Amino acid sequence: MFKGLKSSEEKILKRLDSPAKIQDYLNSLPFNFEPNGDVCRSPRLVMRTKTAHCIEGAMFAAAALAYHGEKPLLMDLSAARKDFDHVVALFRKNGKWGAISKTNHAVLRYREPIYRTLRELALSYFHEYFTDDGTKNLRSYSAPLNLNIFSKKKWVTDENDIWYVAEKLCDIRHFPIADKKSIRTFRPADDVEIRAGKVVEWKKNSRKKFPS
């Protein structure tokens, strides 16, 4: 149990007692477009502001899993330089890995716990991970980061940005998706995939979802 939680925060975390419920909660939060500059908000600040971007959503999901006795694990999906990394929260069920993900796009989302290894899970994001010109850009995935190492920093209830989590994710060991020779032969995504990849869930600077 985390020290210093407010009753309103405990109420939220208590009801999110499954990965599916955590994902539904994250989907209900408008995407954090960082209108005032880069931020890396703690789970407390996610609940307060009722917005999140990918790493904020992943850290919140990890906190909710930990509240119910699971390990708070993150995995970084690292992209080539002209693209952004993506971060997911990891969970296991019946010995298989799944992932909780906060994204504004129709892809890079929740993964059911059907993957035998973290590599299998990471590879499930490969074909969706492309730039506007169709370049497939996923390059590596990290070892799992257990956020319990930040217990003394009170990462769940920190009133400040918790960049130390993002920095640690960048520093831990990453495993390549493919070798350089293979990367040079990657076929770009099709036009229809590129168009589908531009579907978004939340309008920028709005708390309203795009209509389905």
CATH of the domain at 25: 3.10.620
Q: Does 91 fall in a domain?
A: yes
- The band of 65, judged by pLDDT with boundaries at 50, 70 and 90, is very high
Report the distance separating Cα 28 and Cα 102, nearest Å: 10
Closest CA relative to residue 54, chosen from 108, 112, 114: 108
Q: pLDDT at residue 10 above 70?
A: yes
Q: Structurally, how many domains does the chain consist of? A: 1
- H or E segment at 44? helix 43-49
Q: pLDDT at residue 125 above 60?
A: yes
Report the distance separating Cα 120 and Cα 111, nearest Å: 11
Q: Does 72 fall in a domain?
A: yes
Spatial contact of 157 and 4, defined as CB atoms under 8 Å apart: yes
pLDDT for the residue numbered 82: 77
Q: Does 211 fall in a domain?
A: no
Q: pLDDT at residue 205 above 80?
A: no
Other C-beta atoms within 10 Å of 169: how many? Answer: 20
Q: Does 204 fall in a domain?
A: no
- Interval 81-97 mean pLDDT: 94
pLDDT for the residue numbered 158: 97
- Interval 49-54 mean pLDDT: 97
Total length of the chain: 212
- Interval 111-129 mean pLDDT: 97
DSSP 8-state class, residue 199: -
Which letter, b or e, does each residue of 72-95 get, where b requires 16 or more Cβ atoms within 10 Å of its Cβ?
Answer: bbbbbbbbeeebebbbbbbbeeee
Task: For 129-153, write each residue's pLDDT tens digit.
Answer: 999 999 999 999 999 999 999 999 9
Q: Which two tokens stand for residue 49?
A: 């502001």
Q: Does 2 fall in a domain?
A: no
Q: Which bin fits 128, alpha (ψ -120 to 50), beta or left (φ > 0)?
A: alpha
Closest CA relative to residue 194, chosen from 132, 104, 144: 132
Other C-beta atoms within 10 Å of 6: how many? Answer: 12
Q: Which two tokens stand for residue 26?
A: 């994250």
Question: Chain centroid to CA 59: how far?
Answer: 8
Q: Does 208 fall in a domain?
A: no
- Interval 43-49 mean pLDDT: 98
pLDDT for the residue numbered 1: 60
pLDDT for the residue numbered 210: 64
- The band of 204, judged by pLDDT with boundaries at 50, 70 and 90, is confident
Q: Does 207 fall in a domain?
A: no
- Interval 108-133 mean pLDDT: 96
Q: pLDDT at residue 212 above 70?
A: no
- Chain mean pLDDT for the chain: 95
- Note down the domain range covering 17: 7-197
Share of the chain above pLDDT 90, in %: 90
- 79 bridge partner residues: 138
Q: Does 187 fall in a domain?
A: yes
Task: For 15-40, write each residue's pLDDT tens digit.
Answer: 999 999 999 999 999 999 999 999 99
Q: pLDDT at residue 70 above 80?
A: yes
Report the distance separating Cα 117 and Cα 119, nearest Å: 5
